Structures are given as structure tokens and as C-alpha cells.
Structure 1
Amino acid sequence: MCSKVYAVGVGMTEFVKPNSSRDYPEFALEAVERALVDAGITYDVIEQAVCGYVYGDSACGQRVLYQAGMTGLPVHNINNHGATGGTALHLAHRLVQAGSHVVLALGFEKMTPGALPATAYPDRTYPADIHIKKMLKIVKLENAPMAAQCFGNAAKEHMEKYGTTETQFAKIAVKNHRNGSANPYALNKNVYTLQDILDSKRIFGPLTKLQCCANCDGAAAVVLMSEQAVAKHNLASKAVEIAGIALATDTSAVFSDTTRLRIAGYDMTALAADQVYKTTGVSPSEVDVVELHDCFSSNELITYEALGLCEEGKGGAFVDARLNTYGGQVVVNPSGGLLAKGNPIGATGLAQCAELVWQLRGEAGARQVPNARIGLQHNLGLGGAVVVAIYRKSFDNKKKIAGEDGKIRAKI
């Protein structure tokens, strides 16, 4: 059996417009320092670090961590596009299970305004070119950002198959922007009406501008510990268990079937979700709060079904019944999600982790989900990769554990 892994310290910066903030070494350091303070430990306790970012030169992680005094330790720099932050968390989780007691996961990004460029390296093969070629066998390429076309075409297919409406997608944006208004870290704290969402600039298909996430600058960090380290540092009251985490990539059906939903990541999300439900014994009906990769409103609705929160084809009805928000079956994106909080790609997955830790500790303030005990994270990247994780509130368990000094402390 794999050893348990706990998030004991989280920190993030406010997400801000590209180029309106400091450079990445400064704001990424801020996230690290906040996570260390939250955990109540000093930098020298960290044994390994995993740093995720998409846009940047090699060894940016070292450039950040050296400032914090973290020299001499292993630093892993990774890039897995939209799932980069979640992948950093996944690797850090595995490192703790493999024997490290305290591992830092850090994600950061300094971005450019506007839609993401098709590629930062026009002289070489675009890694998602096979996805685009597959999509072009089904639909025609239009004059719109490529990501919007991928997720917008998935929305069109869902509408054709199940009768989903533009209003149902727009309701998700209303919800997330409303939630984001209560999040001090969010890029966009404005509240919008349904008509505001529908009347904003049309980007592609049913997607309007306020249903598309924005690039931004920002950072987030998480300190993970083994059960022994939690006891040693007396952090039972801070610890939230990451009970299971799965990293999956596209299935072969993405390239053999003629479905736009699979191109947008439906299959790999379902695959990763099934893995974590099985390893944790948690069912979708038990989840209280979800941080979901709503890069576009359509992806949130489609992902309800891939995660098993509702039946396939019932995402629209799930929205209309308000089962996706406070007072419903589950609260999805209390942080405001990517739509309101913003999407500094390397930081996004770790910001999701921070929100779930705050929610399960009961520290989320005005956006707190009442009695939240089980959380789920979904972090997606086209090309493709997805991370799904289950978080569990467990520090109020009455069992006991013994620290390295032999003293009995509260079981977490």
C-alpha cells in the first residue's frame, strides 16, 4: 500500500493581467514563501522541489528557489501544457510516496496578452497537430483561436447530440464570475448577468468572450508531507490528505473515432477520474467541492459528465437544476475557476490545490462550501494530459499517530 501524502502549506499570488506585474522570480518566490509560512516551516526542511511552467527558459525553477535559500536539492522543471501545475503536484505526490518526506510543488507563468499563440516554435512540429488534423477531418477550420475551436466544436457536438443550449453554457460563466467576485486572488472580480455573458463578443460557436478564460501572470505553491513528517512538525491541524491522484493522456479512440468531445479531452478525463475513484473508494456522489478546468464554459459542462457528477448528456439539466453550486449536489469552482480567476498556465493546477485545501480546512471565507469534506481537482491540457485528484479532510479523525519522538499526536 502506498504511504499517505498530505498538503500542509499552500500559497498563491493574486492573478493579474500579463505584464502588469513583477517578473516571475519575484512573484513565484512570493507564492513559495506564503506556502512555507502557511506550513510553519523553513526552507531548509524542503527535500525536493518540482517546478512547472510552460513559457520560459530552462532552469527557471532554480532561478526562483535559489532566492529562497533552496540550493543543493533536486529541482525538477516540467511542462505539460494546461496540465502543468497538476503534473507538478502529481510528481511531488509520487516523490513523497517514494520516500521523500517534504516536497515543494511550484507553478508560475508570465504570459502575453490575448489568445494563446498556435505555437511558440514555428520552426518545428506543433505537438497537438494530430488533434487539429483529426478535428479538420470532421469540421472546417475557422478564423478563431485554435483552443476556442477545439472546445467550441466539442460544445457544438454536445448541443447536436443532447440538445444542450447556449444559455446553459452561459449560466456556468455567470456562476463562476459570481464566485470569483469573492476571491481576492482572482483576475476578474466582476459580476455579470446572463445577458451580459450572452451579449459579450462572440469568439467561436456558442462561446462568447466572458465564457473564455484569460491569460495572466501568477504563481501558486504547495508543500506536501509524508505522514511521518506531519507528525514530526506537529501539523495535523493543517494537513489535508491528497488521497489519490492520477495523470492520464489521450486514449486511442481520440484518433480513430469521429467525435469532437474526445479531441477536447473527455476520454482522458473519464480515464483519470475512474482511476482515482477506484484507488480512493470515493464515489462522485460523495464529492462536496470541485475545482474544474473551465478554460471555456463548455468544458465545465462536458466535464461534469466525464467525472461522473451527472449522467452522460445530462450536463445541461445539471446546470438548470443548479446542482453545480451552493445548495446543490456539489459546488464547482467556488474560486471562480479559470473563467474568473484567470489561467497562468503553470500555476493553474496548484491554485486549484490551494483552493481545495482552504475549502477542506474551512478557511475559504465568503466562498466557503459548508461542511466540505471531500474535494476533487481536474486540470487539463490539450495535446494531451489531465490530472484528477481526490482530497479528503481527515485531521479531525480521533485516531492517533506517534511521531518520531514517540509522542502521540492527533491522527490526520
Structure 2
Amino acid sequence: MKAYVVGVGMTKFEKPETRDWQYWDMAKEAGDKALADAGVGYEQVEQVPVGYCFQASTAGQRAAYELGLTGVPVYNVNNNCATGSTALMMARQFVEGGLNDCVLALGFEKMARGSLGGGGEGDFKTSPVARHYGIMAERHGFEMTPPTAQIFGNAAREHMERHGTTEAQLAAVGAKNHRHSTNNPYAQFQDAYTVDEVLAARTIHRPLTKLQCSPTSDGAAAAVVVSERFVERHGLAGRAVEIAAQAMTTDTAESFASGSCIDAVGQPMSREAARQVYETSG
């Protein structure tokens, strides 16, 4: 069975602690927009996978209460950077597997100001990504910089050493992303920067500058995912967008065998995901 997105909604993403709202407020705003976009009532939604990382257990239920008290199952999804895509994948699987005809995928985050983590070894002893940081430490040591920027920055250093990539080439990616933000009214920042301006910004962890790192942010997004028969019954063919393929992978032995940050941050997973998408989409 095919799965289609028939409605989407999101809030504007805000710098943490600058807007007076709670995570359930942002979830309601995004969820209501998605349902209205689809022309679907919450009473038609059969399941709700909800993604977030920085709230307490069952925050998904608290967020969904604002959309309606219909008793439908709510699943709390916490998967770091893949959290939103995981919630969407669950919604698609519910529909493609024939379990449901209408599912709402919802995601939100309410964060604190400042970088994630502190950069000291003690932060990582019980971390789920301790193995990844161990790979990094063996090759690069630890520095007192934000740990996420550190491991990705070190992967960039390895890429520069291996392929001759320049800091300007890496900065061009950041400049391109900021240029895209100028056309997105929901983006937290909407300023364009040149490659030189990206390079001249404050260094976070060489070669990454502030303008190459994601900020902490508050906001929410939602998508209504439905079956082909739901599309037909409700006359949604003109707005239905098929999810042609998705893939999800987890680390394998290859992620850690080389001792490379490039592999530890996901190159083997990317290759496997690309293979899955290719096979799925034909």
C-alpha cells in the first residue's frame, strides 16, 4: 500500500527563551496547520508518532492533548538528529503496512540557549555516543569545544587531509544554506553570508565557524500521512504527495573499524541508506 503526505504545518523556529510558549503550544500550532492544510479533522487520525529529544517521557501525549482527546495511540520518538524523520517513517510504515489510513507525524523541540554538551571527557562516559567520541579521542584527542561540532569538525579535517578539500569549499556549503534561509519565513535566521564572511566568523572547532554550526532552536512541524484509499475517499488526489522511498540504518562494525571520524559520524550508514533507497525506488 502506498503512503501520501496530504498536509504539512510548522511554526517559525525561534531562538530559545525568546518566545513565551511551551512545547505543547508549538505542537498544537504545527499540528493544527497540518490538519487544516490537509482538510482533515483530528478525529480522523488513528495514530500519532511524536518526535522530540529534550522533554520528559510521554511529552508526546501532553502535546497531542492539545489537538484532541480521542484516545488514539501516541508514540514517543527520541532519535537525536533522526528524530523527525523517524516519526515520519513510523507514520509511513503504519500506512504502508495497512494498519492505518490516516496518521499524524508530529515533532517539536524546546531547548536551552548555548551549545549542546560541554566538551570534557566526563560528559561522555555514559553517553549513548561514547563509542563515537572514543574513536575521535584516539585519533584527535579532546578539546574544550562543543562535542558535536568537535566530532564533525574532526571529520572535516580528515576529509581535508584525505581529499585536499579546502576550508573555503566547506564554507561554501554554509553560505549556500544561509542563502536558502532568506526564502524561508519559518527559519530562525534569514541572513545571507558570503564564503569570506563564513570563514571570518568565530571559530567553534576548526575548520567549523559559528556560521557553519546549527543553533539551538524552539519549534515544531507536522505532516498528515494517509493511504491511497483515504486519498480517494476524501478527494485529495490533487494535493497528495507520495513518499516514494525512505531508508534508515544504524551503525555497523564498519562505522568503528577504521578509527575515522568520517565513518563514526555516518558515512557507512549513508552508503547503506542509499542502497536501500535505490532498491526501494527501483
Task: Give the alignment's TM-score, normalised by structure 2.
Answer: 0.95
Give CA deviations for 1:272-330 in whole Å, capped at 9, x if unaligned: 1210111102xxxxxxxxxxxxxxxxxxxxxxxxxxxxxxxxxxxxxxxxxxxxxxxxx
Indicate the residue corresponding to 2:208 in structure 1. Answer: 207
- 3-state SS of 1:68 partner: coil
Give CA deviations for 1:184-222 in whole Å, capped at 9, x if unaligned: 000010111222111100111211100101110000000
Indicate the residue corresponding to 2:198 in structure 1. Answer: 197
Label 1:19 to 1:229 Cα distance change in 2 as closer, same or farther (>3 A). same
Indicate the residue corresponding to 1:51 in structure 2. Answer: 50
Indicate the residue corresponding to 2:27 in structure 1. Answer: 28
Indicate the residue corresponding to 1:76 in structure 2. Answer: 75
Residue identity matched to 1:64: A
Alpha carbons 1:230, 1:239 under 8 Å: kept: yes
Percent identity of the aligned residues? 47
Alpha carbons 2:251, 2:269 under 8 Å: kept: yes
* Deviation, structure 1 residue 114: 1.2
- 3-state SS of 1:238 partner: coil
Indicate the residue corresponding to 1:128 in structure 2. Answer: 129
Partners of 2:178 and 2:241 lie apart in 1 by: 27
Alpha carbons 1:44, 1:69 under 8 Å: kept: yes
Which residues of 2 match residues 142-181 of structure 1 at below 5 A?
142-181=143-182
Which residues of 2 match residues 241-390 of structure 1 at below 5 A?
241-281=242-282
Label 1:118 to 1:269 Cα distance change in 2 as closer, same or farther (>3 A). farther
Greater relative CO (CA pairs within 8 A, separation 6+): 2
Aligned residues: 278
Residue identity matched to 1:117: G
Label 1:41 to 1:264 Cα distance change in 2 as closer, same or farther (>3 A). same
Residue identity matched to 1:5: A
Alpha carbons 1:5, 1:97 under 8 Å: kept: yes
- 3-state SS of 2:86 partner: helix
Partners of 1:218 and 1:82 lie apart in 2 by: 15
- 3-state SS of 1:198 partner: helix
Give CA deviations for 1:346-371 in whole Å, capped at 9, x if unaligned: xxxxxxxxxxxxxxxxxxxxxxxxxx
Alpha carbons 1:65, 1:71 under 8 Å: kept: no
Alpha carbons 2:43, 2:70 under 8 Å: kept: no
Runs of 4+ in 1 over 6 A off after TM superposition: 121-124
Alpha carbons 1:173, 1:210 under 8 Å: kept: yes
Root mean square deviation, CA, Å = 1.6
Residue identity matched to 2:15: K
Give CA deviations for 1:240-297 in whole Å, capped at 9, x if unaligned: 110111110112112221222001111111111210111102xxxxxxxxxxxxxxxx
* Deviation, structure 1 residue 118: 5.3
Unpaired runs of 5+ residues, structure 2, are: none
Partners of 1:261 and 1:124 lie apart in 2 by: 21
* Deviation, structure 1 residue 71: 2.4
* Deviation, structure 1 residue 70: 4.0
Partners of 1:64 and 1:118 lie apart in 2 by: 29
Partners of 2:174 and 2:206 lie apart in 1 by: 15
Indicate the residue corresponding to 2:64 in structure 1. Answer: 65
Give CA deviations for 1:164-192 in whole Å, capped at 9, x if unaligned: 00000111111111110110000010111
* Deviation, structure 1 residue 98: 2.0
Unpaired runs of 5+ residues, structure 1, are: 282-412
Residue identity matched to 2:43: D
Partners of 2:83 and 2:50 lie apart in 1 by: 9
Label 1:52 to 1:207 Cα distance change in 2 as closer, same or farther (>3 A). same
Partners of 2:11 and 2:265 lie apart in 1 by: 29
Alpha carbons 1:43, 1:69 under 8 Å: kept: yes
- 3-state SS of 1:33 partner: helix
Residue identity matched to 1:108: F
